[in-house]
Amino acid sequence: MTAHVIRWGILGTGRIAGVFAEGLRELPDARLVAVGSRAQETADAFGDKYGVLRRHASYAALAEDPEVDAVYIAVPNRFHAALAIQALEAGKHVMLEKPFAMNATEAEAAAEAAAKAGKVLTLGMNQRFGRVPQQVKALVES
């Protein structure tokens, strides 16, 4: 049986987007297939560095890309909710860096968009896998 491969697109081309791109290389059921930026030059530079062939000069173009199943959003915080909603409405699953919204209204709108689209909206909570949080978890479980 062949595992389903999730085709990822990344919105943003900064450091954290690069960390995510590197991490995807380790996952057998994930492929980085597209990048979206506010400028073609930065999309191209990111694509060259991480071997991404589909390069979009706008966030909207990546959200509409039919070759993308899920979108990782790594842009400044104030844009998280709006871009998540855009991607969800385009039929994509979404993973956001935190905070995923600037206020409760934005958070509720993003959650409603995910429910309406029937798609996953999740946060990149990488700190929970660090040594100290894992020790606390083990203590609580014991």
Q: How far apart are CA 59 and CA 52, in angstroms?
A: 15
pLDDT of 2 reads 54
Would you give per-residue pLDDT tens digits along the chain (142 residues)? Answer: 457 999 999 999 999 999 999 999 999 999 999 999 999 999 999 999 999 999 999 999 999 999 999 999 999 999 999 999 999 999 999 999 888 899 999 999 999 999 999 999 998 876 777 788 788 888 999 9
Q: Give the model's pLDDT for residue 134.
A: 84
